[in-house]
Amino acid sequence: MGRFAEVIPYTVTGFSFASLKVFDILNAHKIKTLIFSAIALVFLEKYSVFSEIKGVRYFGFNIYVKTIFLIFIFLMFPSNKITNSKTKIFLRQLTNYTPGIFYLHYTVFVYSKMFIESIKSGTFFGCVNIYIICYLFSFIGTKVSGKSKFKNLFA
């Protein structure tokens, strides 16, 4: 129940942004939004502007604000400008496995830190390792499940 309560602010923010047409406004200033969000994200990563509450994972205000800027970056990124077909295929492969990665990430984090010392909570390197492990599990899960209804769990 605690994990569910921690993500409520993200849902409320998403609905608020959608109803207030914030994304339409930002889309009109796409490049400025992209640059500002990237700078803000780097700044917030480097400097702890907001104090964090110990033991609260995704509810900390610093992570909450960084997540908003990260979403702005992904939404404002001009993906239609990508002309390299290999890059498009690579990005499509990553997005195809996003549900499986999302479902697996916490479990992989909990169990992998028992075996891999370098995976620590809140580090970029740890996040990349968890993402790669989850991607591999999702990829293998879709191949093993074939055309069964369980394939939707992974992709």
What is the residue extent of each domain of the chain? Answer: 2-79, 85-153
**How far is Cα 145 from Cα 52, in angstroms, rounded to an integer?**
41
Averaged pLDDT, 72-94: 80
**Is pLDDT larger for residue 36 or for residue 96?**
36
CB-facing half-sphere around the CA of 113: CA atoms within 13 A: 13
**How far is Cα 38 from Cα 43, in angstroms, rounded to an integer?**
9
Burial of 1 (0-12, 13-18, 19+ CB in 10 A): exposed
Closest CA to 136 of 126, 144, 125, 124: 144
Q: What is the mean pLDDT of the chain?
A: 76
Q: What is the pTM of this model?
A: 0.58
In the structure, what pLDDT confidence band is assigned to residue 21 with cuts at 50, 70 and 90?
confident
Averaged pLDDT, 29-42: 89
